[in-house]
Chains A and B, each alone.
Chain A
Amino acid sequence: MTTRPPIAMLAELTHRCPLSCPYCSNPLELTRKESELDTATWCSVFTQAADLGVLQLHLSGGEPASRRDLTELVAAAHDAGLYTNLITSGIGLSEKRLAELDGAGLDHVQLSLQGTNAQMADMIGGYRGGFDRKMKVAEWIGAIGFPLTLNAVLHRRNLHQLPRAIEMAVEMGARRIEVATVQFHGWAMKNRGAMMPTRAQAAEADGIVAEARKRLKGRLVIDYVPADYHSDYPKRCMGGWGSTGLNVNPEGRVLPCHAAETIPHLQFDNVKERPLHDIWYHGSAFEAYRGTDWMQEPCRSCERKTVDFGGCRCQAMAITGDPAATDPVCIKSPERDALRGMTDEFAGDEDAPLTYRVLS
């Protein structure tokens, strides 16, 4: 199989964040500020990424606005020819800072939504005043004219707010909304009991999205990440391991996906020690599950093996203990019934408390 150049790179600039969402996709062991890559190294990584064939750069975190050099980083990425996307909660952005980002060539903003009112959003984000600030930031984004995607993260506690979230996207002038049901990685793994949607909620969300897509065609694009554990087939994770995207963590480790460090046998290269090009084409972590040769049954002989690539390696690891197993979400997985049982149990765990993300 020929390895093609990656299209997208997720740059986790920092793990610092004013919010402490219980579903944070960052690893349980968060990187401290002292260990983050410096400005010059990030700039070099952006140039290397563009040379490698990356077109889309997602600037994420943590909260990327927690980096004081964010404008400088955006300017460097823009100069390298990358399409720059800022993935933010809005906290840490002022009107002035947004104007500077505009001047630096920022192409697009993805604004997260923890809830459709202050009560829900601030409870989930663990940050009082966060919702009101976010609404202010959304106004500034609109005034500058940045194309906006609203990213509504949904789970058992706020799925009833989905219709309002879609309305809000329209009101804000967003071109697109990502309706993202929580994926259980990172901190979310600690909160499966507190956040797992019920089967009925998952089905209702499918219906709401289908109706809204039809009604808002041409006005609002709706990208939908359904409730994974309730699905019949696994997600096409990362569009296939090591095939379209890569992730650089705050310390410079290059990961095939943001959760890849949960697979214990993998070894990750660092941009401080090896050129990005070399890591993408020859790094052992990228080669581990690239293509289909690593598959076992039932994936190996499955007609869907190049549709979903066996699903998520990290999920296979987390639930079955074998990262090369079929994603247990799949109806063909021998672990599927166990997953179903587990899912219903989590979804019915009404007393489960939220465990917030903290820097230990």
Chain B
Amino acid sequence: MIAPQDIPVVPRGVRVHWDRVREGWVLLGPERAITLDPVAHAIMSEIDGHRSLGEIVELLAAKYEAPPEQIATDSAGFLNALLNRRFLEIAS
């Protein structure tokens, strides 16, 4: 489970990709392609290997004028699924 102080890192071999044929963002990783909805894409775009999840949530809350709790809930489920799929790591 990812916590607010954790720094998410996108590992080698995983990348955000613009699918020009289906006209949408996808996350490409080993033998899988995951469709990114706008929220998921916004989260992935803010992961830079330095910001903690808490900082990312604040940033997105400000940017989209949404309650931080809402963003936190939306992002945790998505990021935990990526962690379990080894599409995401937490900086040690």
Contacts and interface: CB of A to CB of B under 8 A. Distances in A.
A2 to B, nearest CB: 13
Interface string B10-46: 0111100101011000101111110000000000000
A319 interface: no
Nearest to A85: B31
B31 A55 contact: no
A50 to B, nearest CB: 8
Contacts of A217: 84
Interface of A: 5, 7, 51-53, 55-56, 58, 81, 83, 85, 107-108, 110, 145-147, 149, 175-176, 217-221
Contact of A146 (B13, B17, B33, B86): B13
B6 to A, nearest CB: 13
A221 B12 contact: no
Given A83-B17, A147-B14, 7 more contacts: A56-B28, A58-B31, A107-B28, A147-B11, A147-B29, A176-B30, A218-B83
B81 to A, nearest CB: 11
Given A108-B13, A149-B30, A55 B19 contact: yes
Most A C-beta atoms less than 10 A away, residue of B14, B19, B32: B32
B31 A110 contact: yes
B16 to A, nearest CB: 12
B30 A108 contact: yes
B19 A53 contact: yes
Contacts of B11: 147, 175
B38 to A, nearest CB: 19
A7 B27 CA distance: 13
A223 B19 CA distance: 25
Interface string B63-92: 000000000000000000001111000000
16 contacts: A5-B21, A7-B33, A51-B21, A53-B19, A55-B17, A55-B19, A55-B26, A56-B33, A107-B28, A146-B12, A146-B13, A147-B13, A175-B11, A176-B30, A176-B31, A218-B86
Interface of B: 11-14, 17, 19, 21-22, 26, 28-33, 83-86
Given A218-B84, A221-B86, A55 B28 contact: yes
A204 B23 CA distance: 44
A108 B22 contact: no
B31 A81 contact: no
B53 to A, nearest CB: 16
Given A81-B17, A175-B86, A149 B31 contact: yes
A147 B12 contact: yes
Contacts of B30: 85, 107-108, 110, 147, 149, 175-176
A149 B26 CA distance: 21
B21 A53 contact: yes
B33 A55 contact: yes
Contact of B28 (A83, A146, A218): A83
A315 B12 CA distance: 38
Contacts of A221: 84-86
- Give the interface centre of B17, B30, B32, B85 by most chain A CB atoms within 10 Å: B30
Contacts of A58: 31
A218 B83 CA distance: 6
B17 A145 contact: no
A221 B22 CA distance: 28
A209 to B, nearest CB: 15
A145 B11 CA distance: 10
Nearest to A5: B21
B31 to A, nearest CB: 6
Nearest to A145: B12
Nearest to B1: A218
**9 tightest A-B CB contacts, nearest first:** A147-B13, A53-B21, A175-B86, A108-B30, A83-B28, A55-B33, A147-B30, A108-B13, A221-B86
